[in-house]
Amino acid sequence: MREPLRDAERLRHILEAVDTIESSRKIHPAKEAEKDPIVYFGFVKHVEIIGEAVYMLSPEFKAAHPEMDWGSIEGMRHVLVHGYYHIKPKQLWDTIDIDLPELKPSIEKILEELEKEDA
C-alpha cells in the first residue's frame, strides 16, 4: 500500500537519481558508457529508480499534480524493468538528455511547495 506521507521522500529520491545521472553524464559520454555495461546499466538503473519513485507516489498526489506526465515516467520504468533486453540506447539517452532536464525543475518546484505547506 502506498503512503501519502511518503510522497515528499519519493520526490527526493527522484532528485537524487537525477543528480547522480547529471554528474555521471559529465564523466561518461554516451558512446563511452555504451561500451562499458556496468556504467551503461548504472544509467539505466537510475532512470529506473526515477520511474519506481513515481510509481510509488500516492494516487492522490499524482491526481493533485496533473501537469506532470506521470504515466510516461512509469511507462519508462516498466520498459527498463520488464523489457530490459529491449532497451535502445537512443531511448535511454533521449530520456536522460531531453526529459530529465525538464523533469528536475518541476519536481523541485513541487517539493518546495510541499515543504512550505509543512512549515
Measure CA 61 to chain center: 16
Roughly what angle, to the nearest 10 degrees, separates helices 70-82 and 37-56?
130
Rounded to a whole number of angstroms, the CA Rg of the chain reads: 15
Supply the pTM of this predicted model: 0.91
- C-alpha grid cell, residue 83: 523489457
pLDDT in the model for residue 119: 67
Residues sharing a CB contact under 8 Å with residue 95, sequence separation 6 or more, in sequence order: 47, 76
34 by Cβ neighbours in 10 Å (0-12 / 13-18 / 19+) ranks as middle
**Active site residue ranges:** 77, 82
pLDDT digits (tens), the chain, 119 positions: 455 559 999 999 999 999 999 999 999 999 999 999 999 999 999 999 999 999 999 999 999 999 999 999 999 999 898 887 788 899 999 999 999 999 999 999 999 998 888 76
